[in-house]
Amino acid sequence: MNVEQIQQIAVIGSGAMGSQIAMVCALAGYSVYLQDTSRESLDKAKSSLEFHMKRRIDKGKLSAREVDEAFSRLNFVMSLEEAVRDTDFVIEAIVEKLEAKRELFAAVDRLAPAHAIIATNSSTIVSSKIADATNRPEQVCNMHFFNPVLVMELVEVVQGPHTSEQTAQTTVELTRRIHKTPILLTTEISGFVANRILGKLMDEALYLLENGIATAEEIDLACTKALNHPIGPFALIDLTGIDVHYLIRMQRYEETGDERAKPSSIVTEKYLKGELGRKTGKGFYTYS
Ligand SMILES: NC(=O)c1ccc[n+]([C@@H]2O[C@H](COP(=O)([O-])OP(=O)(O)OC[C@H]3O[C@@H](n4cnc5c(N)ncnc54)[C@H](O)[C@@H]3O)[C@@H](O)[C@H]2O)c1
Tell which wins on pLDDT, 144 or 190: 144
Task: Give the model confidence (pLDDT) of 23-56 as tens digits.
Answer: 999 999 999 999 999 999 999 999 999 999 999 9
Q: Is 195 a catalytic residue?
A: yes
Identify the CA nearest to 20 among candidates 56, 66, 52: 52
Q: Is there a catalytic annotation at residue 4?
A: no
Rounded Cα–Cα distance for residues 97 and 99 (Å) = 6
Examine residue 69 and state whether it is found in any structural domain, yes or no.
yes
Q: What's the chain's average pLDDT?
A: 96
Mutate to test the pocket of ligand 1, among 21, 36, 146 (most ligand atoms within 8 A of CB): 36
Is residue 256 scored above 90 in pLDDT? Answer: no
Domain boundary among 151, 185, 219: 185
Give tens-digit pLDDT for 196-211. 999 899 999 999 999 9
Q: What is the CATH number of the domain that holds 77?
A: 3.40.50.720
Same domain membership, residue 213 and residue 159 = no
Q: Is the CB of 16 under 6 A from ligand 1?
A: yes
Q: For ligand 1, atom 7, which residue shows the shortest CA distance?
A: 123
| Edge-to-edge strand ranges of the sheet holding 140-144 | 74-77, 31-35, 8-12, 89-92, 117-120, 140-144, 154-158, 181-185
pTM for this structure?
0.90
pLDDT of residue 163: 98
- CA atoms within 13 A of residue 138's CA, in its CB half-sphere: 6
Q: Running DSSP on this structure, what letter comes out for residue 65?
A: H
DSSP secondary structure, 176-222, as one string: HHTT-EEEEESS--TTTTHHHHHHHHHHHHHHHHHTTSS-HHHHHHI
- At residue 14, the 3 state secondary structure works out as coil
Residue 229 has pLDDT above 90, yes or no: yes
Ligand 1 pocket member 191 (CB < 6 A): no
Q: How many folded domains does the chain comprise?
A: 2
Query: Would you say the CB of residue 95 lies under 6 angstroms from ligand 1?
Result: yes
Question: What pLDDT score does 252 carry?
Answer: 83
Same domain, 224 and 162: no
CATH number at residue 255: 1.10.1040.10
For residues 22 and 161, state if they share a domain: yes
Task: Decide whether any atom of ligand 1 lies within 6 Å of the 189 Cβ.
Answer: no
124 lies in a domain?
yes
* Domain identity same for 11 and 120: yes
Centre of ligand 1 to C-alpha 64, Å, is 29
pLDDT tens string 168-186: 999 999 999 999 999 999 9
Q: Which of 209, 202, 166, 204 is nearest to 184 (CA)?
A: 166
pLDDT band at 255 (very low <50, low <70, confident <90, very high): confident
- Confirm whether 139 is domain-assigned: yes
Q: What is the Cα–Cα distance from 72 to 187, expressed in whole angstroms?
A: 39
Kindly state if the Cβ of 148 falls inside 6 Å of ligand 1: no
Say how far apart CA 170 and CA 157 lie, in whole Å. Answer: 10
pLDDT at 213: 98
Q: Ligand 1 within 6 A of 137 CB?
A: no
- Rounded to whole angstroms, how far apart are CA atoms 270 and 277? 9
Q: How confident is the model over 49-71, as pLDDT tens digits?
A: 999 999 999 999 999 999 999 99
Ligand 1 pocket: which of 94, 190, 250 to mutate (most atoms <8 Å of CB)? 94
- Tell me if 101 sits within 8 A of 251, measured CB to CB: no
**Is the per-residue pLDDT at 261 higher than 90?**
no
Do 123 and 209 fall within a single domain? no
Domain boundary among 136, 154, 185: 185
* pLDDT higher than threshold 90 for residue 115: yes
> Does 162 lie in the same domain as 69?
yes
Domain range for 34: 3-185
Torsion over CA: 274, 279, 280, 282 (sign) = positive
pLDDT of residue 68: 98
Ligand 1 pocket, mutate which of 46, 91, 95 (most atoms under 8 A from CB): 95
**pLDDT over 90 at 142, yes or no:** yes
Question: Which of these, 11, 40, 212, 241, lies nearest to 104 by C-alpha position?
Answer: 11
Which of residues 134, 159, 185 is at a domain's end? Answer: 185
Say yes or no: 147 and 273 in one domain: no
